[in-house]
Amino acid sequence: MQSENFSPTDSLQLINNMINQAKNRFSENGFLYLLWGWLILFCSLGQFIMMQLHLFKHPEMVWMSTWLAAIFQIIYLVKTKKKEIVKTYSENIINYIWVSFGVCMFILAFTLGKTQGWDIVYALFLMLYGTPTFLSGVVMQFKPLKIGGIVCWVLAIVATLIAPVYGLLLLAAAMVAAWIVPGYLLRKKFKNQNN
């Protein structure tokens, strides 16, 4: 790039070109959507099957695996943050959306533990899953995540109409629509950009 005199038109073209280069950079590889999508799918289906077949006394113990995933996620994020060569405003917003989601999930689990309101647990979880998914889709301008978020909200209403035990199946279906399918599409988009 030369630093000779250039016209106002050249300047505007250069500004436009650089802003587009930074704007079109897509840094989401979908890994965490896939990790959590598959994990929650297996946990919900696992608990449902164990409950139906009376395999264990405490089938809800499968959810303990999410703690391992949370620890793994922290290590993964620390490592990937170190490798990042650029940080965008949209990534920052998305990070805070998911931090808020984590806090809300913790408060909800704590509140439900105190109030024993387990009959509405799936509707509340599905409503919460939908919010960060939809907002991330809006910020990233990525339609599959927006659709996934809406599917979660629709399933949250469905969860109030059926027996609580089937809420686990709704949770599994929500994971496919909200995190697994968009996760694979994000991965494909990321790979296409970097090839």
Partner 1 sequence: MAFKELDPILHSQLRLAVVSLLISVREAEFTFLKEKTNATAGNLSVQINKLKDAGYIEVTKQFSNNYPQTICRITKKGIESFEDYVSALQSYMNLGTP
| Residue 1 found at the interface with partner 1 (CB under 8 A) | yes
Going by the DSSP 8-state scheme, the letter that residue 30 receives in this structure is S
Residues in the chain, how many?
Answer: 195
- Of the candidates 184, 151, 176, 155, the one whose C-alpha atom is nearest the C-alpha of residue 42 is 176
- Of the candidates 154, 157, 111, 112, the one whose C-alpha atom is nearest the C-alpha of residue 133 is 154
Of 16-24, 64-72, 138-146, 165-173, the window that binds partner 1 (rule: CB under 8 A) is 16-24
User: Which uninterrupted H or E stretch holds 76?
Assistant: helix 65-83
- Of the candidates 135, 72, 44, the one whose C-alpha atom is nearest the C-alpha of residue 98 is 135
- Binding-residue pattern over the window 111 to 140 for partner 1, x denoting contact by CB under 8 A: ------------------------------
| Residue 141 found at the interface with partner 1 (CB under 8 A) | no
Closest approach of partner 1 to the CB of residue 9, in Å:
7
| Residue 96 found at the interface with partner 1 (CB under 8 A) | no
| Residue 78 found at the interface with partner 1 (CB under 8 A) | no
| Residue 80 found at the interface with partner 1 (CB under 8 A) | no
The residue from 80, 92, 100, 193 that contacts partner 1 (CB under 8 A) is 92
Residue number, 8 or 54, with CB nearest to partner 1: 8
The residue from 57, 58, 82, 114 that contacts partner 1 (CB under 8 A) is 82
- Of the candidates 111, 110, 73, the one whose C-alpha atom is nearest the C-alpha of residue 95 is 73
Angle, alpha carbons 121-123-128 (nearest 5°): 95
**Where along the sequence are the contacts to partner 1 (CB under 8 A)?**
1-6, 8-12, 14-15, 17-19, 21-23, 82, 84-89, 91-92
